[in-house]
Amino acid sequence: MAVEVSTRETYGKTLIELGKRNPNIIVLDADLSPSTMTHFFAQEFPQRFFDCGLEEQNMIGIAAGLAASGKTVFASTFAIFASCRCFDQLRICLSQMGLNVKIVATHGGITVGEDGTSHQAIEDLALYCALPGFTVIVPADAIEAAQAVKVAADTYGPFYIRLSRPKTPLVYQENYHFALGKAITMRQGRDVTIIAMGIMVAKALEASDTLARQEIDCRVVNVPTLKPLDEEAIVKAASETRAIVVAEEHLAHGGLGSRVAQVVARQKPVSMEFVNLKDKYALSGKADELLQRYGLTAKDIEQAVRTVTKRAQGSL
């Protein structure tokens, strides 16, 4: 069993490191700092932390005003409120104006669990990817999360980084190097490529182990940066393997699957399958129960690989 580490706790600690290095960093939160873990920064740098209360729309505007005045702003809340609650503010204040604000949202996806539909951000990536100028990142583990947060701090422009509520298994070693906009081939393979992001990367690796025993040779590619997308890596996968499966903790429309399909359709059409939450909200339950119920397990990826393999071979 892999070591499990919390991406949001890693975020909170990384912010302190960044705060020490750069006095220009300001952190905002919307009454969730003990959960988003920005409270570490608040304790260390009380003068550079502002709790905006339950005012997400206002928080985005304040972030924009600070950024327009030369600050590098991190603003955090749960992914559902950071996307659906303040979309027009994101559009005008961050996307249109192109300001230097980093939205780091925790509790993304259905793994938020028992809080249920109202708290499960599963359309956030579609919304953020639709905004011109935004960089959108979903780290696969805490090691990648820490590096992505640092890169965001050092790169001008609006960013969205989605983190999880539960601890998640490490898929990287400490010597891993995150490069913005680059996909990472986690495992080489010739038959099918599994493209995944976030918590689905660990599941893709697990699926590829099982499939290897059944003599299906899977390539596993982690795409932490949804936007801008590493088109080259996708075209390479489409050229060198016969089919592609995309796995994501998101609704069917507008997320990683849609984005990869757009590249594949234009540049190198191959058969594809999609492991996602389809077009339906999930209910309350434990994270693992929900992943099983709504089809986001290694077994679901294996099934998708078998389906797409048959189709690619012309037997479906």
Partner 1 sequence: MPNHKASYESTPEANIFGFSMAELREMARRLRHHVVSMTATAGSGHPGGSLSAADIITTLYFKVMRHNPKNPQWAHRDRFILSKGHAAPVLYAALAESGYLPVPELSTLRKLDSRLQGHTDRNLTPGVEMSAGSLGMGLSFGIGVALAAKLDGRNYRTYVLLSDGECDEGQTWEAALSAAHFKLDNLTAIVDCNKIQLSGWTRDIMNLEPLNQKWQAFGWHTIDIDGHDFDQILAALQEARNTTNKPTVVIAHTVKGKGVSFMENNVKFHGKAPTPEEAEKALKELE
**C-alpha 257: how far from its chain's center?**
13
Q: Indicate the residue among 70 and 314 with the shorter CB distance to partner 1.
A: 70
Catalytic residue chosen out of the listed positions 9, 17, 56, 273 = 56
> Rounded to the nearest whole angstrom, what is the least distance from the CB of residue 281 to partner 1 in the complex?
25
Q: Indicate the residue among 48 and 299 with the shorter CB distance to partner 1.
A: 48
Residue from 89, 193, 222, 309 touching partner 1 (CB under 8 A): that is 89
Q: Which of the stretches 31-39, 93-101, 194-202, 210-218 binds partner 1 when contact is defined by CB under 8 A?
A: 93-101
Residue from 9, 35, 44, 98 touching partner 1 (CB under 8 A): that is 98
Query: Among this protein's residues, is 56 annotated catalytic?
Result: yes
Output the DSSP codes for the chain. Answer: ---EE-HHHHHHHHHHHHHHH-TTEEEEESS-HHHHSTHHHHHH-GGGEEE--S-HHHHHHHHHHHHHTT-EEEEEEEHHHHHTTTHHHIIIIIIITT--EEEEEESBSGGGGGG-GGG-BSSHHHHHHTSTT-EEE--SSHHHHHHHHHHHHHS-S-EEEE--SS-EE--S-TT----TT--EEEE--SSEEEEE-TTHHHHHHHHHHHHHHTT--EEEEE--EEES--HHHHHHHHHHSSEEEEE-SS-SSSSHHHHHHHHHHHH---EEEEES-TT----SS-HHHHHHHTT-SHHHHHHHHHHHHHHHTT--
Q: Indicate the residue among 68 and 252 with the shorter CB distance to partner 1.
A: 68
Read off the tokens for 178: 């995150």
> Rounded to the nearest whole angstrom, what is the least distance from the CB of residue 133 to partner 1 in the complex?
11
Mask for 7-36, x = binds partner 1 (CB under 8 A) = -------------------x----------
Residue from 18, 25, 27, 67 touching partner 1 (CB under 8 A): that is 67
Output the DSSP codes for 34-60. Answer: HHHSTHHHHHH-GGGEEE--S-HHHHH
Q: Indicate the residue among 101 and 216 with the shorter CB distance to partner 1.
A: 101
Mask for 36-65, x = binds partner 1 (CB under 8 A) = -----------xx-x-xx-x-xxxxxxxxx
> Rounded to the nearest whole angstrom, what is the least distance from the CB of residue 74 to partner 1 in the complex?
13
- How far apart CA 29 and CA 51 sit, in angstroms, is 5
> Rounded to the nearest whole angstrom, what is the least distance from the CB of residue 151 to partner 1 in the complex?
24
By CB under 8 A, the count of residues binding partner 1 is 30
**315 touching partner 1, by CB under 8 A:** no
**71 touching partner 1, by CB under 8 A:** yes
CA distances (Å), 240 to each of 47, 69, 116, 210, in order?
Answer: 53, 48, 40, 21
**93 touching partner 1, by CB under 8 A:** yes
> Rounded to the nearest whole angstrom, what is the least distance from the CB of residue 23 to partner 1 in the complex?
9
Q: Indicate the residue among 54 and 179 with the shorter CB distance to partner 1.
A: 54
> Rounded to the nearest whole angstrom, what is the least distance from the CB of residue 227 to partner 1 in the complex?
20
Give residues in contact with partner 1 (CB under 8 A).
Answer: 26, 47-48, 50, 52-53, 55, 57-71, 88-89, 91-93, 96-98
Which active-site residues does the annotation give? 56
